[in-house]
Structures are given as C-alpha cells and as structure tokens.
Amino acid sequence: MNSTANQILVIFGASGDLTNRKLIPALYDLYCQEMLPENFAVLGVSRSEYSDESFREKILPGIKEFANKKASQEEKVQDFLDCIFYQSIDTQSVDDYGTLKTRLEEINARCKTDGNYIFYLSTPPSLYSVIPSLLAAHGLHKEGKGIFRRLIIEKPFGYDLASAKTLNKDLLKHFREHQIYRIDHYLGKETVQNLLVTRFSNGIFEPLWNSKYIHHVQITSAESIGVGDRGGYYDGSGALRDMLQNHLLQIVGMVAMEPPSVIEATSIRNETLKVFQSFRPITEEEVKDYVIRGQYTESTVRGEHMKGYRQEKGVPDESRTPTFVAMKFFIDNWRWGGVPFYIRTGKRLPTRATEIVIQFKETPHRLFKDVNGAKKANQLVIRIQPNEGVKLKFGMKVPGAGFQVENVDMDFHYSDLQNTYVPSAYERLLLDAMLGDATLYARGDAVEEAWEFVDPILKAWATRDDIPVYGYPAGTWGPEPVDSMIEGENMNWRYPCKNLADDGNYCEL
C-alpha cells in the first residue's frame, strides 16, 4: 500500500449507475495496484435497503464487467469487498445523519481510518446544497489536527450563473474551498494532463504557442450515441450545459494558460482562471453570429434507422434543446490576441472522439509546390479519446524530380507503450482527492467565470426566436452552416472520421 492517509470514502447515491460503472471499479483498480491507503473503507449511502453483504453482492458484477484489472482472483476480490459497507438513510432527514455519524464512528474504529472522511455526492444536483448542510448539522464537516474532511461533487455545478453562485455560497457556508472538489472526469484523462507536459517540458512547442504562429485552435467532443432513455433529463440541459460549459472550457483553460510558477494545484488553477477571465464576452446580440446550435433528426445509416431527437423518450415534440453546439470566440490577452478558438460538441455524430487541434499558420512565402495544389499548414492533433495520442502534421518532399511537398504524420499513441498501464479518469481523480491534490478539480471562482461567459448565450436562446435550431441527420457532422464557420484560406474543421454512411477511416488518430 502507498503512503496515502488512512480514510473512509462515503458515497452518497451508492445504489446508482455511476457507482456501479465507474466509482467502485476504479477503486478496485487502485486496490489491485496497491494505491489505496493501508487502512481504507468505503461506505455506500442511499435510500435503498441493503445490508453490507447484499450491497457487496450488488456491486460485484460491476467490478467484473467494468474494472480494468479483471476480477479473476477470487481472494483479491473478496479482500476488497470486505472493505465496503452500506448504510441506508433518508438523505433529506437531519436525524438520519446522526445514524450515519454513528456508523462512520464504528467503521473508523474497526478499520483504523484515523477519522478522515471524503464525502462523494453521486446524487441529483438538487441534493448538492442539502447533504453538506445536514453533514454540518452533525459536525461531520469539521476538520481537526491531522484530520481532514473533503467533499466531492459531480457536475452540473449549477444550471446557469445565478444557480452556480447560489450553490457555491451554500457549500461555503459549511465547507471551506480547500475541502471542496468539483469533479470533471475529462480532466482526469491522461491526454488532457499531458497537455501540461507537452507545452511546458518541450522547448519546441512553448515558443510557438501564441498568436504569432498559431492560426486557430479547434476542440471537438463528438459522441456517436443519442440521448437514449435520458431524454427527459437531457432536455433540461442540452449540449451547452452538458458538455461545453464545463468539460470543454476546462480544456480550453489548459490549452491557453500561461506557465504556472510550479506544478501545484493553486498555481495551475490560478492560471486557468485567468484564461476564463480573458474570454471576450459574446453579447446576446452577437450569439447568432458566433454560436450555432442544432438537433439531430432521424436518419438511416448503413441500413439502421436512427431516431431524431424529438422522437426520443421524454423529449417534447416542439423541443428546441440543442444536441449540437459550435462556437467561435476569442481570448483577449497578449498570448492569444486575435486567435479564434472553435469548439464543437454533439450527439449522434459519426464517431466518439475528443481532440484538440492546434492549427499553425502557413509559411509567409510559398517556395514549394504542394502535391494537391493547396497549401497545407502544420497541425498538432492531441487526441483525448479514444486512441489517445499526439500527431504532428508537416510537409516532406515527394521522392523524385522537383520539389513537390506532401503532408506526412509523426505520431505517438499511448497504446504503443509496452507494459504501461493507462489509468481511467476516475482512478486518477479519486486518488488525487485521497491525496488532497485538487489540481485537476474545478475551483468555485473558475466555475462562476465559465458560467459568466455562457450565460448570455442561454438567455439569447431563451428569448430570441430569430436564432435558429438547425437540424442535422443523425450520423453526420452537424448542421451545414458549421462547415463555413472557420475562417481563412485552406482552413477547415478536422474530421476524425468520415460520415457513418461512408466507408473508410473510423476515428484513427
């Protein structure tokens, strides 16, 4: 076992899907790597009635199906399950938290966890203010000498700027900012973290990472699935709230930040906050020109019928909720002045892929003839998922007479690393929370700045009928107007793969 402090992880919403598919399998993977504290326990909490034993039976199939370290050793699995307990409470009853406190004290004494607790809120957002206040009512939020109490919260961190401010205010009534961990699983992905290393440990990149050499930046997060049975929930959220405001703007922060003084949580989060503060505001009047929204419509792809968004279960017939958003915006500071950033995210696109594209400017003078007759600028592609890796596109001479140029790729894939284990995002983030490292967690002030930026867009969509919701056939790359969004000769979106109806390259880096 490692030197992480002894502790209990309390998971509210323990009977839910996130616990079964992500949290418990990630903890099991950490256990198999001997990265959990020497004395460690998990207490699952929800309304559902389970005993310790029946809860262990419930989560065992999830470990076998979703853990990276396959549960083949029965003895090892059983040792892990012995560390897991369960307590049923009414999460909105202050008296039941007295029962929870007593149970924690019993487990703490039994497992010798030194009174350290992490509370993980895998619950509906309506409980994000309730649970911390009821924990505080029984003193479960109080830290002492050598004793920590931490709170992990899943997104969404508010529904708009006003609700985000209210949530932060409610949390800070009982917990201090250093105790609050707002989890964004995108930041736990290995390739996102590698952004910092790519930029700040390589002398060939950082000198070029500015408006003098970069034409524009693209960030794409594509999903091939639709909303499925989550239509009722999703319709109250949409692509802007679900993906762009949190995941993608956090990635922008890491792409665009200035070098931190040290690789440490406060320094790094200070720099990403400065990026958010430098976003050029998009006014309600400008939304139509800078933001495109769309909804997937029914389509037939390779003989398979795909429903349109409005045909999904729980979605109103007249819904205007976007399942696709593309945005152009600017960061007004010395490094990025004049460089457009383009973001797009959507459901029912041709593939599942998340990537960052750094599009460099063309050479100031064209000396050589390109094979296809078009100038090609250098491009750095950082693939976050799947096929995690990095690709650099540059020109090389075609063998033979003359000086004809063709673009070639130099790439790296994490899968090329022999005997190297790439942890899941939740493994990394859970371990960081246990260690007290908040580097990859969102801070309250940064969350509010991100909402400050997108709030005018939400208000414009809610009040202005002249802003269209474009349809796009399921299995394509979004509404047609998006294709002409990127300005500049020979500049366009990078497509990780072709439309599903085509044959060819499917999501290769």
Give the Cα separation of 451 and 160 in Å (integer).
Answer: 6
Instruction: Tally the C-alpha atoms within 13 A of residue 432's C-alpha that lie toward its C-beta.
Output: 26
Length of the chain in residues, anyone? 509
Q: Token pair 């419930």 is at which residue?
A: 58
Residue 240 half-sphere exposure toward CB, CA atoms < 13 A: 27
Q: Which residue has the tokens 């429903």?
A: 307
User: In whole angstroms, what is the distance from residue 488 CA to residue 56 CA?
Assistant: 58
How far is the C-alpha of 82 from the C-alpha of 27, rounded, in Å?
A: 13
Token readout for 1 is 């076992």
Task: Output DSSP code: residue 149.
Answer: E
Q: What is the DSSP letter of 305?
A: E
Say if strands 214-222 and 404-413 run parallel, antiparallel, or are unpaired.
unpaired
Peptide bond into 479 cis (omega under 30): no
User: CA nearest 217: which of 194, 177, 174, 251?
Assistant: 251
Phi first, then psi: what are they for 252, rounded to 5°?
Answer: -55, -45
Q: 3-state DSSP helix/strand/coil percent for the chain, to nearest 5?
A: 35, 20, 40
Task: Please identify which residue in the block is written with the tokens 């310790």.
Answer: 52
Tokens of 261: 């003084």
The catalytically annotated residue of 216, 247, 305, 413 is 247
Bridge partners (DSSP) listed for residue 154: 183
Is 247 one of the annotated active-site residues of the chain?
yes
CB 325, CB 472: distance < 8 Å: no
State both tokens at 109: 């004494």
- C-alpha 115/C-alpha 107 separation (Å) is 10
Q: DSSP character for 24? A: H
48 burial type by CB count under 10 A (0-12 exposed, 13-18 middle, 19+ buried): middle
| Separation CA 282–CA 341 (nearest Å) | 13
Catalytic site residues?
247
